[in-house]
Structure 1
Amino acid sequence: MKPLLTLLLLFITTLFFGQNNKTKEAAMFLDSTFISAESMKYIDPNGIESINIIKNDTIIDSNHYVGQIHITSKNPKKYTFISLEQVKSEFTKIKSNDVIYMVNGAFIKENNETFKIDKNYILKVEITNSNEFYNFRNSPTQFDIINILGKTEENLDNENKILLRGYNAIGSK
């Protein structure tokens, strides 16, 4: 009787304290393409036609989501989503795997595998190597930072600015 009770107690504790991959967020789909919630920051809200919410729990790639959010855009053919690895292979010549990703100066800390960005949203891709930082010059750890600049108003204004530099000020004596 004692071994049976011990096994039952062990089974119950593993049920309660077992690992759970359940997230508190919903799975997001834009025009039936699964994207992360981080990716939605870079979608124009004026391009959204409708939103449909399904409250059923969903399992995608062994991750448990609370529900589903299906977003339909006004022009479904406008978006061409690519992963961060595809950005690295298409826009850079980096071959190493040690890469840190940024979008508009903000680090992508989570969901690197599921993060997707619209290819038409990308304005420019900047690459910074760890050797360019003073503290990492003699470090054995080498990595690259890929900063993806999107077509925001601020980035477009900075891209169109022309800086004129000279030695003498005009109109002064």
Structure 2
Amino acid sequence: MTPSSASPSATGRALPPVDGFVQRFSSTPRGARLARRLVLHQLAAWGVSYGSADSDTAAQIVAELAANAVTHGRVPGRDFEVTAEILDGTLHLAVSDARGELRPPAPGAPRPATPPLAESGRGMLLVESLADRWDVLDRPHVGKTVVAELDLRPHRAQRPEPPLRERRPARA
């Protein structure tokens, strides 16, 4: 990740460079959708192409964590916060909410069985399967933060596929 250059503030002093993405969102389904979209936009600005495997995986992780923050971590009048940064080839995603007493099971901990036709209860299983690492941390003042890390794949030069007519076998 390359930090953006310092920009002048209204007072003319240079502001420190921005190293990551930090944004608060309303604890609503609309806020959760917006969080996912803005993180994808930021990843594209950092060079993680929209529609790539890394982008799609990050989108699913943010979607699940934001949905959990809205569904299980909501406190009326309190927002949830999303943080994203890339350090040494690892994407760090964090979603914080105000409900510290409602925590997902720790990574690797046994979970209660989810009925096969249940409409919820699989979000953290998805995060666990998609993220390379994840954890639940206490926030300093109130609430919790769920952190997920994704080791980004190195970009490989790919040969474009030949046009369809060149891939067809010759007729005999």
- Would the TM-score normalized by the shorter structure come out above 0.5? no
Greater radius of gyration (CA): 1
Q: Which has the higher strand share?
A: 1
